[in-house]
Amino acid sequence: MLFACTAVLIASGAGCAWRKPALLEMPPPVAFLQPPSLQQVVAKVNANTDAVWQLQSQGATLAVRGLPQLQADIALERPRRFRLSAELTSFTGKELDIGSNDNLFWFWMKYNDPPVMYFARHQEYERSPVRNVMPVEPSWLIEALGLARFEPGDVHEGPYPAGEGRLEIKTRLASPRGELSKVTVVDATFGYVVEQRLFDAGGRVLASARASRHRYYAAQNASLPLHVEVELPPTGLAITVDVAEYMINQLADAGQQLWAMPNVPGYPLVDLANPNAPTNAPTTAPPNAPPNAPTTSPPPVGYVQPTSYAQPLHRQAPHRQPPRFQPPQYRGFRRLP
């Protein structure tokens, strides 16, 4: 979705366990002693990302503009597996679940109006008109968390000066919606990513991420941001993630359950890849769904039967035709000034 003092107390192995924050943080090695070439910037950013194939944080905080702060758990496994779940308190149960696995992604909010579980298969969503409203998949948050990568098949230009102590790489990306462009801003000394902006063919900002408070992990020779601000202008959504500590390349729960779309009774599935054709949307109720749930088509590929949330929901939504997709709107909390 990216500073330091002198000596440090760090103890970690190739598979890190949860590490207590050191009193002093070790600064990352200086990456560029003089203005770097494009190849040097690309190599540094890719090496940082390639060192981290799994990442997990428990006890992070998630702030959504105008809403109370949520407690969040984050887990990812590159390239596409991602899970972000959040709750207000342990007594209120889940408020938010966003995830992605090898086949599909999903987005659920407890107080979303209408009460549904949005999902889509990756390949079908590439050409979905809903991408004009929700332009990136949840797996894009992997890049936002400091794990950006320059792919050899894309066209990269730069580096260009981007303010004091920063360099900018411009990238052209081919997509089913036409050529997209991306700007990646890196620290001119240490080489980690501090900002990313994705644009459509008309120059409209589709998504942006700003990262700061980077921590250097010596065992992986990688730097990760502990503070990330993400904005999706087409949806009006802005979130901020703060992380206290990461566990790297060793997930506490690496089973398929972690990457399974959850079963939430009362929230029918709505396929974002077919927003205008509800009869084609997968309407099969997941296991443990209410008896009157429709069962006209098989579950989506990639759906793994999960354990439903233990906390009962406060209402049962009546069955209705899947609505046209609108950006998710909370309706359960009083908006803050």
Chain-centroid distance of CA 49 in Å reads: 15
| Dist CA 131 CA 327 (whole Å) | 11
How far apart are the C-alpha atoms of 175 and 90, rounded to whole Å? 41
* 17 against 219, higher pLDDT: 219
Other Cβ atoms less than 10 A from the Cβ of 65: the count is 12
Contact 230, 212 (CB under 8 A): no
Going from the C-alpha of 92 to that of each of 89, 311, 333, the distances in angstroms are: 5, 8, 12
Residues sharing a CB contact under 8 Å with residue 204, sequence separation 6 or more, in sequence order: 233, 234
**What does the DSSP assignment read for 36-79?**
PPHHHHHHHHHHHHHT-SEEEEEEEEEEETTS--EEEEEEEETT
Q: What is the pLDDT of residues 116-147, one digit of tens each?
A: 999 999 989 988 888 877 888 888 999 999 99
**What span, in angstroms and rounded, lies between the C-alpha atoms of 162 and 144?**
19
State both tokens at 248: 């790297």
Each residue's pLDDT tens digit, 235-268: 888 999 999 999 999 998 767 789 999 989 999 9
pTM of the model: 0.76
